[in-house]
Structure 1
Amino acid sequence: MGATSARRPAGRRRDREQVAQGPSARPMTGTPPPGPPRVQTRITVPDSKIMVNLLGAGDEILRLVERSVTSDVHVRGNEITITGDPADNALAERVFSELLELIEKGETLTTDAVRRTVGMLEQGSAERPAEVLTLNILSRRGRTIRPKTLGQKRYVDAIDSNTIVFGIGPAGTGKTYLAMAKAVQALQAKQVNRIILTRPAVEAGERLGFLPGTLNEKIDPYLRPLYDALHEMLDPETIPKLMAQGTIEVAPLAYMRGRTLSDAFIILDEAQNTTPEQMKMFLTRLGFNSKIVVTGDVTQVDLPGGTTSGLRVVREILENVEDVHFAQLSSSDVVRHRLVGEIVDAYARWDAERENQQAQGVHAVPGRPAQGGRAGRRR
């Protein structure tokens, strides 16, 4: 937390002193100018229990903070000393201050929370990490659903303040999960009377008419992820009753045609697999006192070759329509295994390189360098 921005817990003391850097005489001609002065910032944590939580088991949290900031960090007793350039110290100080506030709010620090705190502070956003990471949406049996990244928090805020929201981003960014949590929250608060969850039922070239089994057996694999999320947010024993009453409806997109959906929270998942005509059909189902959230990943389109994705073109069509918001999530918002974000970035770079090669008329063979490239030397 910066010296002028956010609140510090009572009893925490910070002192700053200049560290001697040798004679103050003017440097000789030809010598490089001195760098920024190194200063020390001290943070005192009077409560030993808070200090133990701040350092983590086996100093795990402390070591992660040390690796994440440029300044040197030393702990002695109940005092944290940060040494470095003023700007670097300010970042490290804010990291510790945000982590201390998380502890004061009853949170147990994790390495994931530390990484996300550092990432948000480095982005220089107005939102404070301690506020983002404690924004509860839904709680059930001791488990709380909340945004874990700045992008997710802004996505949730957009759902609160707009009638139609598009959540667009790679796999693992919580697009559908957070939308469903907001839907359940709205239902429990009696802001809507029902939840409608839908997906296109044509993926990977399979059409329902050519699949074996009854209609329910055919559509179940497409809708199963939505059922799974519902079971995490509601008592599983109540879900069949709510579905029988029509309070919760899970159905293929084709079932939306010809309907007007009022007093409902409606979620269209996997929207990259809609055509422009299907997207228009779905959006025009909107009735009074309803909210629509559309989620998808434009890099994972399963439509037959040459078919335009409705999610790709809808932004161009509705960008300037009031009360419609487009939330763009990225690899930094991935909340699955750390490698998932790196995989998303790697594929994005590969796609960009391939498009660049195609634009230049260079045909690359998968797994080999492009023409004109240079293979690694063999020793």
Structure 2
Amino acid sequence: MDNPVSSIEFTLEPTDHQRLSLLCGPFDDHIRQIERHFRVQLSLRDDKFRLLGFTAQLPLVQQLVQNLYNETINDSGKLVPLTSEQVHLAISGVEHPATLVQVDEQAQEVSIKTKKGLIKGRNPNQSRYVANILRHDVTFGIGPAGTGKTYLAVACAVDALEKNQVRRIVLTRPAVEAGEKLGFLPGDLAQKVDPYLRPLYDALFDMLGFEKVEKYLERGTIEIAPLAYMRGRTLSDAFIILDESQNTTVEQMKMFLTRIGFNSKAVITGDVTQVDLPRGTYSGLKHAIDVLSKVDALSFNYFVAKDVVRHPVVQKIVLAYEAFEAEAAAKKQAEREAEQAARLAASAITTPVATPAIAAEPPAAKTRSRAKKATPNSDTAAS
């Protein structure tokens, strides 16, 4: 059989009934989540797990259970309840192991303590992204929504500010929905641009709390503004983040990159599949990838659907869109090739066949021919 079914039994060491209870979750919700994803049967009896399913899946699920068991206790020995989100991320971790990704140890040190816990990379691509932000002055994070591009960039910015590595944080994004022509909107500058910058506020509130963010905003330690207000400035001793950069024009992207001053870092995030620019306007992010991808001092980090850390259905949605777009692109390419072949075939049919040229009659021959026609026939003259 291609997919033989078998079963294995295993135990987790050291055995701890409280940790096993946290692993299984309330009403065995975590066990059910694993069973639904891998289509296996997983049961716990007398501190021993029994796993039934396709043979190829069993080692993967066993490793997953061990990884989750390890997460039920922190470094200080305190028990930690698991969430369905952690189970989902652990599943992604065993299905997409980091076999070719070398993660810098420095990336593991970036853990911002918030009211939601510690913030750090949750998968190899995120950890590498954090490492590159720490190592490079300019870092690009490119990929679909939900991969943590902006959130991790803000976490690194907050970490740098709290450690006094920079004096301020500058967060910006193009307000393309209003064409950056904000004058007609009611209210002051903050009220005009708040709807476009709300995701950045949310990330800051999540990490620092409302009161601390408000204090930093009042002091100018944290500045949030639309990209149009960056023109003409030089940002030194700052951690600068450009979000939604796929909606910048080529000129805007160049303008932003030339704002970076001494002792500053810049992180540019975006998704090249979600460009909202007017038709015919080339994305500044796409142009930057074309122009700057070979510059050694810059770092380009690409995320894919498997890196999505939002609700599991988001990953499925992103994968479905990617598959549809790939199929549409292949179909369009096939149509172009068929059209080109048809044009070549039609051109071959309508091209006239070359005929051999008739040699021109010599001038002397033409004269004799005319003279012969003009002279009367000798028989006719005799009569």
- Seen in structure 2, the aligned counterparts of structure 1 residues 162 and 273 have a Cα distance that, compared at 3 Å, is same
Q: Please state how far the C-alpha of 1:95 moved relative to its aligned partner.
A: 1.2
Q: Please state how far the C-alpha of 1:80 moved relative to its aligned partner.
A: 1.9
- Seen in structure 2, the aligned counterparts of structure 1 residues 205 and 360 have a Cα distance that, compared at 3 Å, is farther
* Residue pairs, 1:77-226, within 5 angstroms: 77-82=46-51, 88-105=57-74, 106-126=79-99, 137-141=111-115, 143-203=117-177, 205=179, 207-226=181-200
Q: 1:42: which partner in 2? A: 10
Larger mean Cα displacement after TM superposition, 253-262 or 343-352: 343-352
Q: 2:293: which partner in 1? A: 319
Larger mean Cα displacement after TM superposition, 46-55 or 341-350: 341-350
1:43 corresponds to which letter in structure 2?
T
- Seen in structure 2, the aligned counterparts of structure 1 residues 142 and 358 have a Cα distance that, compared at 3 Å, is closer
Taking the aligned partners of 1:198 and 1:118, their CA distance within structure 2 comes to 34
* SS in structure 2 of the partner of residue 332 of structure 1: helix
Q: 2:353: which partner in 1? A: none
Taking the aligned partners of 1:171 and 1:85, their CA distance within structure 2 comes to 33
Q: 1:300: which partner in 2? A: 274
* SS in structure 2 of the partner of residue 232 of structure 1: helix
Task: Give the share of equivalent positions with the same residue, in percent.
Answer: 47
- Seen in structure 2, the aligned counterparts of structure 1 residues 307 and 63 have a Cα distance that, compared at 3 Å, is same
- Seen in structure 2, the aligned counterparts of structure 1 residues 47 and 273 have a Cα distance that, compared at 3 Å, is same
Do 2:169 and 2:223's aligned partners in 1 also have CA atoms closer than 8 Å? Answer: yes
Q: 2:367: which partner in 1? A: none
* Residue pairs, 1:45-84, within 5 angstroms: 45=13, 46-69=15-38, 73-82=42-51
Do 2:168 and 2:239's aligned partners in 1 also have CA atoms closer than 8 Å? Answer: yes
Scaled by the length of structure 2, the TM-score of the pair is 0.75
The count of corresponding residues between Structure 1 and Structure 2 is 326
Structure 1 residues not aligned, in runs of 5+: 1-31, 363-379
Q: 2:236: which partner in 1? A: 262
Aligned alpha-carbon RMSD (Å)? 3.0
Taking the aligned partners of 1:135 and 1:122, their CA distance within structure 2 comes to 25
- Seen in structure 2, the aligned counterparts of structure 1 residues 37 and 140 have a Cα distance that, compared at 3 Å, is closer
Taking the aligned partners of 1:155 and 1:140, their CA distance within structure 2 comes to 20
* SS in structure 2 of the partner of residue 208 of structure 1: coil
Scaled by the length of structure 1, the TM-score of the pair is 0.76
- Seen in structure 2, the aligned counterparts of structure 1 residues 343 and 247 have a Cα distance that, compared at 3 Å, is same
Kindly indicate which of the two structures has a greater share of residues assigned to helix: 2
- Seen in structure 2, the aligned counterparts of structure 1 residues 71 and 226 have a Cα distance that, compared at 3 Å, is closer
Structure 2 residues not aligned, in runs of 5+: 337-383
Q: Please state how far the C-alpha of 1:339 moved relative to its aligned partner.
A: 2.5
1:118 corresponds to which letter in structure 2?
I
Do 1:205 and 1:304's aligned partners in 2 also have CA atoms closer than 8 Å? Answer: no
Taking the aligned partners of 2:320 and 2:54, their CA distance within structure 1 comes to 33
Taking the aligned partners of 2:211 and 2:85, their CA distance within structure 1 comes to 33
Taking the aligned partners of 1:35 and 1:194, their CA distance within structure 2 comes to 57
Do 2:7 and 2:50's aligned partners in 1 also have CA atoms closer than 8 Å? Answer: no
* SS in structure 2 of the partner of residue 321 of structure 1: coil
Taking the aligned partners of 1:343 and 1:73, their CA distance within structure 2 comes to 28
* SS in structure 1 of the partner of residue 236 of structure 2: coil
- Seen in structure 2, the aligned counterparts of structure 1 residues 135 and 67 have a Cα distance that, compared at 3 Å, is farther
Taking the aligned partners of 1:124 and 1:285, their CA distance within structure 2 comes to 38
Q: Please state how far the C-alpha of 1:69 moved relative to its aligned partner.
A: 4.1
Q: Please state how far the C-alpha of 1:317 moved relative to its aligned partner.
A: 1.4
Is 1:348 aligned to residue 313 of structure 2? no
Q: 2:379: which partner in 1? A: none
Q: Deviations over 1:6-35 (max 9, x none)?
A: xxxxxxxxxxxxxxxxxxxxxxxxxx8x99
Taking the aligned partners of 2:296 and 2:286, their CA distance within structure 1 comes to 19
Q: Deviations over 1:130-185 (max 9, x none)?
A: x9xx9762222354333333332332222222221111112222221221111111
Q: 1:370: which partner in 2? A: none
